Amino acid sequence: MSGLRPDDVVPIATVTRGGIVESVHHGLVVALDRDGEITLARGNPDAIVYPRSSNKPMQAVAMVRAGLRLSPQHLALVCASHDGTPMHLHLACDILAGAGLDESALRNTPALPLDEASAHDVIRRGGGPTALQMNCSGKHAGMVATCVVNGWPLDGYLEPDHPLQFAITATIAELTGEPPAHVGVDGCRAPAHAMTLVGLARGFRSIATRATDGDDACAAVVQAMTSWPDVVGGELRDVTALMRAVPDLMAKDGAEGVYAAALPDGRAVAMKIADGSSRGRAPVMAAALRELGVDVEIDDDAATRSLVGG
């Protein structure tokens, strides 16, 4: 398995200044129509990518199937790469407390909040990076809470052979319709599943369509994300702006220029910027959705505030 190769990608975004092209971002985009067929492909849709945090909705489906029961707002945080604002941290603490745990149970990497104002406030108070503030802490809180529900050990919950991670891997394979091409380690220390770009689009499509077909776990995840887009990202984040702009759209950003989204009618998009830049991600996603007939406009200011670490 070689992962992303130069011949997999094509130019998908340009930056102009005074009518002159100044920069070009290469990448790949795939869009599925209502029947799940590829209707748009730029670059190789079968290229292997790490979705990074775009995997979180699929991971959340696995946790709900394994017995995790949370309010929609709290489940949205499990799906989130959150900004680390006081609201986000309060929700993470709620999830932990509901399982009889506290921040010490988390094994993700420490970080300052992504939100600049929140990070400055922490520093002014003499604080520093913590696991709770890191943008993946909601996912990890959900993971340890799921372990408590099932009586699984908390020690080693991030190991690929832990029962929780077995369940997540099986769910991702089911939703995408393909076995993971590889399982690496994400920036938060959790397993990172690699897959084809079209597999990522199909995974999101599966969640969105099954939510309307009686799959309770998928329905819970879709309701959580679409009802609480500010929890999934933050007030100045493009993923939040996108879900607010398009009713019923489930979308999730990921580090290294990844983005995926799906609608209940089966239309779905997945994309990857080859150089890992987040700058072109929101405009390309909006353009791909418009190709599918989705009426969407993203504020230019919001489009520049993309996730860089999740």
Which residues neighbour 151 within 8 Å (Cβ) at sequence distance 6 or greater?
A: none
pLDDT at position 304 over 80: no
Residue 307, pLDDT above cutoff 90? no
Does the pLDDT value for residue 303 go beyond 70?
A: no
Looking only at the bridges linking them, the beta strands covering 48-49 and 182-185 are unpaired
Q: Select from 26, 39, 97 the least CA-distant residue to 277.
A: 26
pLDDT (0 to 100) of residue 305: 44
**pLDDT of the residue at 309:** 37
Quote the CA–CA distance of 188 and 272 in Å, as a whole number: 20
- pLDDT tens for each residue of 5-44: 999 999 999 999 999 999 999 999 999 999 999 999 999 9
82-115 pLDDT, tens per residue? 999 999 999 999 999 999 999 999 999 999 999 9
Mean pLDDT of 200-213: 98
CB 26 within 8 A of CB 9: yes
Which position has the higher pLDDT, 257 or 304?
257
Q: How confident is the model at residue 299 (pLDDT cuts 50, 70, 90)?
A: low
pLDDT exceeds 90 at position 229:
yes
Per-residue pLDDT at 298: 65
Token digits of residue 87: 């609201």
Whether the full predicted model's pTM is greater than 0.85, yes or no, is: yes
Mean pLDDT of 192-200: 98
Answer yes or no: is pLDDT of 208 > 50.
Answer: yes
- Distance CA(273)–CA(250), nearest Å, equals 20
Beta bridge partners of 23: 15
| Full set of structural domains in the chain with CATH | 6-303 (3.40.710)
Instruction: For residues 281-288, give the mean pLDDT.
Output: 95
